[in-house]
Every structure is written in C-alpha cells, then in structure tokens.
A and B are shown apart, each in its own frame.
Chain A
C-alpha cells in the first residue's frame, strides 16, 4: 500500500463509452437546469413523477439496501464470515444514495430551494422524513467510508476520531435507512383511493423496508459476481449461497404478510379479476417472489453460482418491478393520461448509472474494498470469461 501512492484508472473501450454517456447526461442536465422540466421531460400534470423519481430515486435507494442489510448482519450480529463483502456493499450503497440525491436534485422544479426542508419543517410530510433520513444517512456513509479512505490517504488522527465514532455511526446508519426505506413506501399512503388496492396498504412501509432488506444479499451476490468477472477473481459462491438463507426466509414472510394484508383488506379477489393491474400483480408475486423462494429453497440450485445468481437477479428485478408497479401501474387508472420517459430522461438516467459503474471501478482499484485474494477459498477454477467492465 505505502509503496503505491499513484492513483490508477485504466481506460478500456467499454469505459470510454460509459464516460461518453456521463458527458451526454451532464450536458442534458445543464440544459434542464436552465430551461426547466417541461423542456426536457415528458412529465405532465397527470404524471408529476416519472423515471427519475420512480426509477433512479425509488429503485436506486432500494438497490442500495445492500449497505444496511450487510451492516446489520456483519456489524451488529457479528456474522464474521460475511466480513469480506461488507466494504463492497457499503461502497455500492454510498454511490446509490449519491445517485438518488442527484436525481432528486434534477427533478425538483425550484432546485435552488433544495435546502429549504432543512430549515422549514413540514414534519407532517412523509417526504420530510425521507429527505432528512437520506441526507443524514448519506453523510454517515461518507464518514464510514472515511475510515477506508484514510487507510489509503494516511491521516492517523482523523482515522482515530472516526474509529471512536464508528459504533454510533453504525447504529444510526442502520436505523436511518430502516426509517426512510419504509417511508418511501409511506409516501404512497396519501394516494388512498388513487393507488390500486393491490398495492395501496397501510403497511406499505413494511413491504418497502422488508423488500429493501432482503434485496441486499441478492444485490451483493450480483455485484460480487460482476466484480469477480471484471477483475478475474474467484466469486465467493459459498458466501452467496449461505446468504440465501436470509433472503429465503424474508421472502416467505413477505409473501405471507402480503397475502394476509390483501385478505384483511378484502381485496384478495382483485388479484384475479383479469385487469392489467391484477396481471402485473400476479407476475410480481409468481415470477419474482414464489420462483426465487423455490430456487433458494433447492440446494442444488442455490449452491451453484449460476443458480444463486439467477435467483438473485429475479429478486432484484422483482423489487424494481414492485416499485414500478406502485409508481406507474397502480396509479395509471386513477390519474389518466399516458407517460413514457423522453429521450433526455433516458439519457440522464443512463448517464447516472454509467457514473455509478465508473466510480465503483475507480474506488475498488484504488482503495482497499475487496478482500485480498488469499482470504478467499480457492476451490474452483478462476473466472475469466464474460463481463469485462
């Protein structure tokens, strides 16, 4: 470490393309800030929230759930065998939150007023809680990351201060995401009589935080595999399949509570009424909840990298699918009109996620994030094919 202080970032053709996407998005974002939302988006009075809030913010935050579920498993429950993945999970989570904040900043009409909620408290708004929690949690993640940063950039005194602060930071760093992951669901409680009853529920906050949590291990599996392929390392398949225990049980409880909630509210039959909404709901439940439950429960599937990876992809896509159903499918009937993101909305979204990949690569190539290879069991043959970021 000490003998290697130069910052490295190898430019590959794939990375050149990603950089191009980021530059296009930056230009489009600049245009949006000057000329307003109407000039670049297809948003309307019927669809005040679109791709940036529905996908980049809601899904970005959910996908970053790996940070807090891993922190809970490793730092609070001290399941030490998962220690090797904890830093990568923190990093993805941190970048995910920064993306969510950027997309929120892009989406608010009077962006120069973004600081208002810090001083003018609309504490009866769910969005107020979401805003505060996300802002504080991003700060906390930056401090947590500071601990890693100062291993690379030597500054023992600052690292010492952070070391003392680490326990309260870790605890608050789990409490805050628990609150706002659930509040992202509570945002839609106001949409009573608007959001389709298959998704509207007084316990939608539970569904959101629960799914953000069980998505964590699945996301770690996908990121870990991608990173392993990119850097020609051994994927930690043993860890991934052992993590499926968490996801499996949480998925089962999720499904039972979901069914119980539908029955309690007397809308169970709506799942089978043949409407567009009911079909989307059935896909969500069967393909993205029941199928992964089956795959995780089958040892021959979950103990193979391809099996655990496929099931994890289903879980992650399923959570995105759920958020899309809440934001778009479930609202469509009551708001009327149609919405499809404009080319600029897509380009800015693509640019932001390209930035995520680039930042991730830069950080793991320059900071101690991934475990040293000798800490990983060498049981299989090394991976060398497939995805090369």
Chain B
C-alpha cells in the first residue's frame, strides 16, 4: 500500500471548523467548554481531547487585510520523532502513513507515560491526559480504522470547500506542485515536503508559512537521524572505553602499597 497523506490548501479554508466537529464525533471525544475569543481561534490549542484545531491569523499587507485559517493536527512524519523517542516503541508509523500507538490488542499498552515524545515532537503535537490517574498520550490518529477500510479521514470527509484533499502522498505532492506553479498567488513552498524528512500531511498557502504559525528554516533531516548519529556510537564506547579502562587498571596495578581496606575505614559516631 502506498503511504497516504493529506494536502491542506490554506487558500481554500473558510474556518468553518467542520473538521474539528467531525474529529470529535468520529473519535468520540468529549466536548470542552471554551471561552469567547474574538479571533475565531477558540479553543486555539490542541489537548488530549482535541486532536485538531483551526487557528486563525489576521495578516495585514499594505492596505489589505487577509484572514487565513489553518487546520493543525499531527503531521504524521515519515520518520516520526515521537516513535524514535519512545523507549518502549509504543508509537509506530504504519504502512498507511498513520503514526499511532501500536494498534494490535497485544501491543496496545506499551506506553509508560514518560512524555519524552512530547519533548521530541517538533510540532508539539502529542498531548497528555493530565487529569487521568493512568493517562495516555493522545493525538490525531489519521483515522487509522477508516484508512484500513479504504475511507478517508473524518475531517477530510467533513470539509465542505476542498481545503483538505486525501490521497497517496506522492500524488498529492504532484498536485500541490501543479497548484503553486499554475497560480502566482501561491507562496512557493510545500510545507511538509522536506521538513524534518517529510510529513504525510502537507500544506500550501498564499502567505508565508512563518505568518501562519509554522516554523520555517527548520531542519530537513529527520529527528531520528540526528539521534541515531549519536546513539550509534554506544556499543563502540561501551567496549572501547571498557577496554581502555581495563588496560589502565592493569597497567597502574597497585605497586608498592597493599591496603587493607577493612582496617582503613570505620563507622563514625554522632555525639
């Protein structure tokens, strides 16, 4: 199976937030009481029960004011930082492209709750069930069950404007390139094509990504490859350093003095 993806065309999003409702409904996530916000941004942040949000940005250019709405969720990296950071390998990148907790019943409960995935994620996506006694890390699952049935994610189905397009990642990349090449209004970049080694979810926009909440100029190398550059030395350090120490200990073997340690130390008395 080809790895799937979603292309988000920011120019087509009207900020209706149907995707958020569809996500909550399909995944049976409880509603959260929000507060009024005059920026169309509420609730603004993802949390353990809110796996996607639509953020709004007001961009002033000369005498023009642009409203832009950007759906945020897990980017489903090709080489996920969260997967590599997990010391029980609880997260996996499935062949469909979804980054999820290992889906089989047997492997479901690997998570220790250490939250290193939250430190590792370059997009700050994984969220923790803080209020639970035995919490899990939660985030968008790319509607993995739907993908397996050949359906598109719930949010994509719900999108009324075609801002979200589901398909094979390679085909979506071609489509994105076609759109930004044929229309000069587009900012010439596909966010997610190369960022941190590429992601399954990709964005195109008519305003610079910097202005709609994305970090530009980020590494094009995947985060797991950074870590591996260091970790791969572990066995060499273990045996190499161990050999050096053994040699040094033998070489400097106690020469003149032989200490009787039992005679040297004693318990002390507290007066």
Contacts and interface: CB of A to CB of B under 8 A. Distances in A.
Interface in A162-178: 167, 170-172, 174-175, 178
Residue picked from B115, B128, B253, B257, most chain A C-beta under 10 Å: B115
Given A125-B87, A193-B122, 5 more contacts: A38-B130, A113-B112, A335-B124, A368-B264, A370-B266
A122 interface: yes
Given A172-B242, A193-B219, A78 B254 contact: yes
Contact of A233 (B45, B136, B252, B268): B268
A41 B127 CA distance: 16
A110 B81 contact: no
B110 interface: yes
Interface stretch (B11-19, B64-72, B223-231): B223-231
A227 B269 CA distance: 11
Contacts of B248: 76-77
A371 interface: yes
Nearest to B47: A45
A282 B237 CA distance: 32
B106 to A, nearest CB: 11
Contact of B227 (A124, A152, A167, A361): A124
A45 to B, nearest CB: 5
Shortest beta-carbon contacts, A-B, top 6: A109-B113, A38-B130, A368-B265, A48-B115, A122-B89, A128-B87
Interface of B: 45-48, 81, 83-90, 109-116, 118-120, 122, 124, 127-136, 215, 218-219, 223-224, 226-231, 234, 237-238, 241-242, 245-246, 248-249, 252-255, 257, 259, 261-271
A126 B270 contact: no
A109 B231 contact: no
B215 A193 contact: yes
B251 to A, nearest CB: 9
A381 interface: no
B227 A126 contact: yes
Contacts of B130: 36-38, 43-45
A1 interface: yes
A230 B224 CA distance: 49
Given A121-B89, A375-B264, A110 B230 contact: no
A45 B128 contact: yes
B245 A175 contact: yes
Nearest to B247: A76
B133 A35 contact: yes
Interface string A339-378: 0000000000000000000000100111111111001000
